[in-house]
Amino acid sequence: MTSMEHVLISPDDEAGVVALAACASHIFPKALKAAIELDIFEIVGRAHGDGLSPSEIASQLPTGNVDRTVVVLDSLLRLLVTRSLLTCSICKLANGSIERRYGLALAGRFFVGDENGGSLVPYFDYVSRDEPMQQISFKDAVLEGGNIFEKPHGKSYYGSLASDPESGRIFDNAMGAHSTMLMKKVVKIYNGFEGLSSLVNVGGGNGATLDSIVSNFPSIRAINFDLQHVVQIAPSYIGMEHIGGDMFLEVPKGEAILLKFVLHNWGDEQCTKLLNNCYKALPNKGKVIVMECIMPNSPQTDHIHATYVSQQDIVMAILSQGKERTEDEFKAMAMGAGFAEFKVVCCVYGIWIMEFYKLVQPNQIIG
């Protein structure tokens, strides 16, 4: 036990450190960006055994001053450990000094590429350089009631991506990377795709999400539905048909409809309109599969899921008319659109999978 461990830290002292850490919260994204640019996760991920020392990592970096690099690098590595991206073990050397050796933590592996391109690096690249978010005043967003992107730009955030090919490319790469990571696990633990004859992905973009499903469930007849200009440039996939249209007017019919990260982009009125259209497009006993974050009823501290969904919630409020919702809010929307049953099925990387079932009684008129 060290001398420090004998000292009692009061709740007031702890609170003060929390406040100080909040003041310095801008530092970590810069550190993570540097780690990604230096391929730290790739380098550490290739190591075996008890990890690598800062000097061993530095020897693989393009530096002309290894000794000085080791000092700064060790500081960077320690910060990554505090965010559970790296592990650290202590080795006592023959001269009595200690050496820190770093390994890849479970969370850190998401910044290492695999054969399927499953890395969050493109996603981080997007959020770290997202100029619209950097230019927006959160104070003004609060005072003006959110959705303040459209006023100075004359178009919605997503409209701006459509008119700026480079920004659109970065956004698509980011969403693709996130989707690859997410769907790789979804198809393994969620059994709701089994036995489906047809599946419509509303707001499916370029079709990559639907392709990951059909690749594992090839008997499904798949329809990827999005705006006409989106599906026009979407690649062809085996077993998938692209259809363009407006989801607020009508959606294609299918045994099941997938809404992945769609509802949080819109306010309650638009979501109700969309869910009404989904209800009409489903057969009796059909279902809508919703993939979204679920907001806790009460904000929570020291809970990574609550932190993540709260971050997403304020982004949606600022950039669009959308928001993240609680379980009760999702259930109310489902029931309000005529669905008879609501289920929360499972959770993957903070994204919840819910099912809304259409169950029509014999004496009811089927929509």
Do 288 and 353 meet the contact criterion of CB atoms below 8 Å apart?
no
48 is catalytic: no
**CB-based contact 202:283 (threshold 8 Å):** no
Largest separation between any pair of C-alpha atoms in the chain = 86
Backbone angles phi, psi at 132, to 5 degrees: -55, -40
Task: Give dist(CA 104, CA 257) in Å, integer.
Answer: 38
CB 126 within 8 A of CB 174: yes
Which tokens go with 45?
């991920």
Q: CB-based burial of residue 269 (10 Å sphere; 0-12 exposed, 13-18 middle, 19+ buried)?
A: exposed
Compute the radius of gyration of the chain from its Cα atoms: 24
How does DSSP assign 196-245, residue by residue? Answer: -SEEEEET-TTSHHHHHHHTT-TTSEEEEEE-HHHHTTPPP-TTEEEEE-
What's the Cα-to-Cα distance from 149 to each of 126, 146, 156, 317, 342, rounded to whole Å? Answer: 17, 8, 7, 10, 34
Handedness of CA 112, 118, 122, 126 (dihedral sign): negative
Angle, CA of 221, 227 and 229, to the nearest 5°: 110
Rounded Cα gap, residues 285 and 55, in angstroms? 61
The residue annotated as part of the active site, out of 178, 229, 264, 303, is 264
The DSSP code for 64 is S
CA distance 244 to 246: 7
75's CB contacts (< 8 A; 6+ apart) are none
| Contacting residues for 23 by C-beta, under 8 A, at least 6 apart | none
Contact present, 278 and 286 (Cβ < 8 Å): no
Q: Could you give the residue numbers annotated as active site?
A: 264
